[in-house]
């Protein structure tokens, strides 16, 4: 709407200029006609003189070059220029306000600092140290699958290994000289040795002599130990790892391939605290629980620390003495006296 108003103002000014020009040309034409008429009204002895009529085009050119017309023309152009400048300022003011609102928050933001090289001016995505390649090593296994229920089949492992002590049952401290040697030659100590059962769709798989190695990150399943302890056979293909029963051919376990590594989620039995077995067996002693564990009559039982509150309260013969609130240092500082009387008065008023 403001642009249309500008066009209307410019058009009106042009019309005014054209009207003034036409008026000036018409005035000069009338003067020329008056001069011609006066020349015809002169005495006849002047009839020999032929009057010269000036063309209107000549008058218009002279009018354009006249000083008065040029001054008026410059004033009008100056006014038009001022009006255009005012209109442009009115149009640009909202845009400048929007630009100011948009640019102000950006100027208040802290400078971008790279998280890789800690240099300002760029982010980690555009840093020269950023790389998308994956190192083909055991440490590059998917970190999102690092929990106690995920196992990785390993044909090069001579024993089952786990960093999670809580999933093992019948565990005993490892006292032998054996250590776990990893690919780079580093030797890792073994903390405990225990057993574990993996629950499958068919029968459970027994994992015997599982090493608890605190310094590894993942559960490793020894292929040789698995086949030797469970009479099963394994099959590898492009996308999966299969464990089948050797006699019946029943599928027991299936592992999937992700990032060129086979892994599977195992449903494994949990270790029951010794306190739970203590309560199940009628609050028996620690010696009985130990013998039951040794003969494998109870499974997945941890050690019992004899911290049963019910047993302590039941075996207490009397209430404990209350805390002493006073202290005496000399005889007769504290005198005990008894004012006991019969709690029921007799009918005759005797006590």
- Contacts for 267 with CB less than 8 Å, ≥ 6 apart: 149, 198, 199, 200
Backbone angles phi, psi at 189, to 5 degrees: -75, 155
154 is catalytic: yes
- Write down the catalytic residue from 154, 245, 307, 327: 154
Of the candidates 16, 12, 5, 14, which has an alpha carbon nearest to the alpha carbon of residue 87? 5
Rounded CA-CA distance 245/248 in Å is 6
213 close to 189: Cβ distance less than 8 angstroms = yes
Would you give the DSSP letter of residue 317?
Answer: -
Specify which residues 198 forms β-bridges with.
205, 268
SS3 238: coil
Report the DSSP beta bridge partners of residue 194: 210
Residues 6+ apart with CB under 8 A from 51: 35, 36, 39, 40
- First-to-last C-alpha distance (Å) of the chain: 115
H helical segments located in the chain: 2-40, 56-64, 67-108, 223-230, 274-280, 286-294, 309-314
Q: Which residues are catalytic?
A: 154
């Amino acid at each position: 709407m403001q642009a249309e108003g500008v066009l209307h103002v410019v058009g009106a000014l042009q019309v005014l200029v054209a009207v003034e020009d036409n008026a000036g040309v018409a005035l000069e034409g009338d003067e020329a006609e008056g001069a011609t008429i006066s020349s015809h009204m002169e005495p006849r002895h002047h009839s020999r003189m032929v009057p010269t009529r000036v063309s209107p085009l000549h008058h218009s050119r002279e009018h354009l070059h006249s000083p008065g017309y040029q001054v008026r023309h410059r004033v009008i152009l100056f006014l038009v220029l001022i009006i255009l400048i005012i209109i442009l300022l009115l149009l640009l003011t909202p845009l400048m306000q929007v630009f100011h609102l948009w640019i102000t928050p950006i100027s208040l933001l802290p400078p971008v600092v790279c998280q890789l090289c800690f240099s300002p001016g760029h982010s980690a995505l555009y840093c020269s140290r950023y790389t998308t390649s994956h190192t083909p090593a055991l440490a590059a296994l998917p970190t999102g699958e690092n929990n106690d229920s995920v196992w990785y089949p390993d044909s090069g492992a001579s024993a089952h290994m786990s960093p999670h002590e809580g999933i093992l049952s019948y565990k005993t401290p490892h006292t032998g000289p054996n250590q776990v040697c990893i690919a780079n030659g580093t030797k890792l100590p073994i903390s405990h040795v225990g057993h574990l059962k993996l629950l499958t769709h068919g029968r459970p798989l027994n994992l015997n002599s599982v090493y608890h190695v605190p310094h590894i990150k993942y559960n490793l399943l020894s292929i040789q130990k698995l086949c030797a302890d469970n009479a099963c056979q394994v099959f590898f293909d492009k996308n999966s790892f299969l464990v089948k029963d050797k006699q019946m051919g029943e599928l027991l376990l299936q592992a999937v391939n992700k990032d060129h590594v086979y892994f599977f989620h195992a449903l494994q039995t949990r270790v029951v605290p010794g306190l739970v077995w203590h309560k199940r067996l009628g609050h028996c002693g620690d010696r009985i629980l130990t013998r039951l564990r040794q003969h494998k009559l109870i499974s997945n039982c941890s050690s019992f620390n004899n911290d049963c509150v019910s047993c302590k309260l039941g075996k207490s013969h009397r209430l404990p003495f209350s805390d002493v609130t006073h202290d005496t240092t000399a005889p007769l500082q504290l005198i005990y006296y008894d004012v006991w009387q019969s709690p029921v008065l007799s009918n005759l008023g005797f006590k």
